[in-house]
Copies of this chain bind each other. A is one copy, B any other.
């Protein structure tokens, strides 16, 4: 009776949530079927049943965390849709809020995203993220410029995260503005 807690329809989702917490705390290196099982409070066999490999679990986790930046944009980036606002300034501001708001969450999101470098299984999800983020900007710019803006923001954020430096909003705004400037 008691020892078996049956029928848990949200088991799979709880395991994904637990995996995200584990990666946030210990990094991908600390992710194992056992560590996830402990965090999710389920037996070992349950995690291996729902996710045959850790890559499967990482794919599910990345899909879920990809929402991070988009969420900030949705909640506090309403001005982006306004054709009169300064796009570069608004993007620089939102990025600053994202980086300063939940640094641990940002690192987690990037760690999963960057893991695609060595895990082909994650590439599809990483590509989706790029496209979705660029899509947030296509109401204001052409697709080519949108892609460039995403690349530049990625590069700027990475340098902050990798070198431990500070985010310089003025510098970001000015550089973004150069990319936005219509070339002809």
Task: Kindly identify which residue among B107, B154, B183 contacts A117, using a CB–CB cutoff of 8 Å.
Answer: B107
Q: Of residues A110, A123, A148, A181, which shows the largest number of chain B Cβ atoms within 10 Å of its Cβ?
A: A148
Interface residues on A, range: 35 or more
- The oligomer's copy count stands at 2
Segment from A41-49, A66-74, A161-169 that makes contact with B? A161-169
Task: Kindly identify which residue among B127, B147, B152, B162 contacts A113, using a CB–CB cutoff of 8 Å.
Answer: B162
Residues in B neighbouring A179, C-beta threshold 8 A: 152, 175, 178-179
14 pairs from A and B in contact (CB 8 Å cutoff): A27-B118, A110-B117, A114-B117, A114-B162, A116-B162, A123-B162, A126-B162, A127-B164, A144-B174, A150-B155, A150-B159, A151-B158, A154-B159, A174-B183
Which residues of A approach B to under 8 Å, CB–CB?
27, 29, 107, 110-111, 113-114, 116-118, 120, 123, 126-127, 130, 144, 147-148, 150-156, 158-159, 161-165, 171, 174-175, 177-179, 181, 183
